Amino acid sequence: MSAFDVRDLLKVAGQGETVAAGFADPARVAEPVPKMAPPAEAVSPLPAPAISPVVIAGLVRAAEFTLIVGLGAGLHVALLRGVVPFGLTYAGAVVAVAALALAAFQAAGTYRIAAFRAFFKTALKISAGWMLAFLLVATGLVLAKVADHYSRLWLAAYFAGGLGLLLTGRFVLSGVIVAQTRKGRFDRRTAIVGGGKAAEELIAALETQSESGIRIVGVFDDRNDDRSTDVVAGYPKLGTVTDLVAYARTTRLDLIVFTIPISAEGRILQMLSKLWVLPIDIRLSAHATKLRLRPRSYSYLGSVPVLDVFDRPIADWDVVMKTVFDRTVGLTMLVALAPVMVGVALAVKLTSRGPVFFRQKRHGFNNELIDVFKFRSMYVDACDATAAKMVTKGDARVTPVGRFIRKTSLDELPQLFNVIKGDLSLVGPRPHALQAKAANTLYDQVVDGYFARHKVKPGITGWAQVNGWRGETDTSEKLQRRVEHDLYYIENWSVLFDLQILMTTPFALFKTENAY
């Protein structure tokens, strides 16, 4: 977060006051999934999942580097095996060609989604970059007086074969990218907040950016007067900011852009106090203010300048790294802990009637409902699927085996299956039961901005748990501290942070005073 502090938003959300007549009550941010107004509901079918252009570009770079290096080595085996050793001589030339070619392709802008779609235009740039790379390598060999050490047949085959493979690969890639573009997989589905002339000017500017990937889904505004008409620059007004929260919970939304002048700080904060809980990029249009900063102060949608307010916590390559980390480490843990899990399953089955596993609905990423698995720790006729009543010390509903596995968190081990499935991460805010309460009040009504915990996938363990905030939340202070630690984790996530939490978790399990 850059322009606003989370504490400001929580303060605004907690005031319970409206900034101006006609604005929705900020207390409604506590609703898990508020009902959408009919206009928003009518245009909210679930679109195809998004594909990150950043990840696609990175994968294409890696694939082309591997292809160029592999071709050079393969041609040497095919043409010169047993005649000329590969050694550092040929290896250096192959790596130099690959590095220079990719640098030339990058400089020519061939690693953009638009370039992936436009095959013929990109083919000319690829050909020019490939020739430039070979020319530079050949010049270097001549100047170093080592050109005679290389086979001309190998060089000619490498040049022709490499160019052919690169162009063939780009031709296939262009077909794939075009098909996925038609499905909207690269669109940044964008909601405009605010109406009137400022919104019209921003929409007009965005629509001239054909390669920006912005797809406007509609306009949301809390005003209900002539400053906010039902249609803005051809796009329907879909509801209020509260409706926007509901809309983002039920369909894919990637970006929110405010057209409200930055001078209207109170109104912006009032709206952000509802929207910051969403895992969505939020920007403030520079079109809406006369204040002009240096170009480097802005980010850009195409060539349209905007100010960054919130960024999605985990995006692009971070999503890939966390997913690979979760699945790889999760599967390893599942195999390593299989004997323990079998032992717990037998203990549960042999000491009380009923199923071994207990399934419970909880909120996952972006408030999506997921089924979380645990070993059953209560008597089957006393199981509380909604956790309407918090388990307390000496709770008669808990079996003797259940008391032990709850204290040691062994009851959580089946959630490794949720990690493999993709519903949970190994590390993240713990998913709470739907009716969980602190001091007899639902969690989301105790802590303003509670649902900001769901901007990332929930986890089996988390920063709050390793810092002692696990188990019973019988007071609002305990829940507040847990949420603060969860938000700190979200804002400071890294793979190393995940590793630190995982390595600390076994030691945290010894602190069982709050685990019943």
How far is it between the farthest Cα atoms of the chain?
87
Residue 297 sits in the same domain as residue 324: no
Q: Is residue 513 one of the residues assigned to a domain?
A: no
Percent of the chain whose predicted confidence (pLDDT) is above 70:
84
Q: At what angle do helices 317-336 and 53-80 cross, to 10 degrees?
A: 80
CB 380 within 8 A of CB 353: yes
Which of the four pLDDT bands, split at 50, 70 and 90, describes residue 515? low
Domain limit, last residue, from 310, 345, 375: 310
Residue 227 sits in the same domain as residue 289: yes
Residue 166 sits in the same domain as residue 260: no
Neighbours of 110 (CB within 10 A): 26
Q: Is residue 1 one of the residues assigned to a domain?
A: no
User: Which residue did the predictor score with more confidence, 247 or 475?
Assistant: 247
d(CA 413, CA 460) in angstroms, rounded, equals 8
Q: At what angle do helices 338-351 and 400-407 cross, to 10 degrees?
A: 150
Q: Give per-residue pLDDT as tens, 29-77.
A: 334 445 555 555 555 556 778 889 999 999 999 999 999 999 999 999 9
pLDDT at 81 over 90: no
Q: Is residue 112 one of the residues assigned to a domain?
A: yes
- The pLDDT value recorded for residue 20 is 32
The region that residue 447 occupies, defined by phi over 0 for left and psi between -120 and 50 for alpha, beta otherwise, is beta
CB 375 within 8 A of CB 352: no
Pairing outcome for strands 304-310 and 299-301: antiparallel
Q: Is residue 132 one of the residues assigned to a domain?
A: yes
Which of the four pLDDT bands, split at 50, 70 and 90, describes residue 285? confident
Q: Which two tokens stand for residue 47?
A: 């679109």
pLDDT at 508 over 60: yes
Pairing outcome for strands 235-239 and 214-220: parallel
Q: Which two tokens stand for residue 515?
A: 């685990």
Residue 230 sits in the same domain as residue 346: no
pLDDT at 512 over 60: no
Sequence-ordered strand ranges (E) for 336-449? 357-363, 369-375, 425-427, 437-438, 441-442
SS3 397: coil
pLDDT at 335 over 90: yes
pLDDT at 16 over 60: no
Q: Is residue 79 one of the residues assigned to a domain?
A: yes
Q: Give per-residue pLDDT as tens, 439-460.
A: 667 777 777 778 889 999 999 9
- The pLDDT value recorded for residue 513 is 60
CB 230 within 8 A of CB 238: no
CB 416 within 8 A of CB 408: no
Residue 76 sits in the same domain as residue 146: yes
Percent of the chain whose predicted confidence (pLDDT) is above 90:
44
SS3 279: coil
Average pLDDT score over residue span 366-374: 91
Q: Who's near 366: CB < 8 A, 6+ residues apart?
A: 248, 249, 278, 279, 454, 455
Q: Which two tokens stand for residue 447?
A: 């802590």
Residue 17 sits in the same domain as residue 113: no
d(CA 122, CA 116) in angstroms, rounded, equals 7
Distances (CA, A) of 164 to 68, 83, 120, 151: 11, 26, 14, 20
Q: Is residue 515 one of the residues assigned to a domain?
A: no
Contacts of 489-495 spanning 24+ positions with Cβ under 8 A: 489/427, 489/428, 489/429, 489/462, 489/463, 489/464, 490/313, 490/429, 490/452, 490/453, 490/455, 490/456, 491/1, 491/313, 493/313, 493/314, 493/318, 493/322, 493/456, 495/321, 495/322, 495/325
Of the candidate ranges 4-13, 110-119, 239-248, 440-449, the one whose mean pLDDT is the lowest: 4-13
Q: Is residue 153 one of the residues assigned to a domain?
A: yes
Average pLDDT score over residue span 297-318: 86
d(CA 269, CA 257) in angstroms, rounded, equals 14
d(CA 407, CA 340) in angstroms, rounded, equals 15
CB 271 within 8 A of CB 241: yes
pTM for this predicted structure: 0.81
DSSP 27: G
Split into its structural domains, the chain has a count of: 3
User: Which residue did the predictor score with more confidence, 448 or 327?
Assistant: 327
Residue 346 sits in the same domain as residue 259: no
Residue 335 sits in the same domain as residue 292: no
Domain limit, last residue, from 138, 160, 182: 182
Domain limit, last residue, from 264, 294, 310: 310
Residue 296 sits in the same domain as residue 194: yes
Average pLDDT score over residue span 278-299: 76
d(CA 256, CA 316) in angstroms, rounded, equals 18
CB 297 within 8 A of CB 325: no
Pairing outcome for strands 281-285 and 437-438: unpaired
Q: Is residue 516 one of the residues assigned to a domain?
A: no
Average pLDDT score over residue span 311-324: 92
| Arithmetic mean of pLDDT over the chain | 84
Q: Measured between alpha carbons, how far apart are the two ends of the chain, in Å? A: 37
- Residue range(s) defining the domain that contains residue 174: 53-182
Return the amino acid letter for 236: P
Residue 197 sits in the same domain as residue 176: no
Q: Who's near 173: CB < 8 A, 6+ residues apart?
A: 60, 116
Q: Which two tokens stand for residue 94?
A: 């192959």
- The pLDDT value recorded for residue 257 is 93
DSSP 350: H
The region that residue 311 occupies, defined by phi over 0 for left and psi between -120 and 50 for alpha, beta otherwise, is beta
CATH of the domain at 251: 3.40.50.20
- The pLDDT value recorded for residue 339 is 95
Residue 227 sits in the same domain as residue 351: no
The top-scoring range by mean pLDDT among 120-124, 180-184, 451-455 is: 120-124
Which of the four pLDDT bands, split at 50, 70 and 90, describes residue 9? low
Average pLDDT score over residue span 172-194: 92
- The pLDDT value recorded for residue 1 is 43
Which of the four pLDDT bands, split at 50, 70 and 90, describes residue 174? very high
Q: Give per-residue pLDDT as tens, 219-252.
A: 998 877 666 678 888 888 888 888 999 999 888 9
Which of the four pLDDT bands, split at 50, 70 and 90, describes residue 17? very low
Residue 148 sits in the same domain as residue 294: no
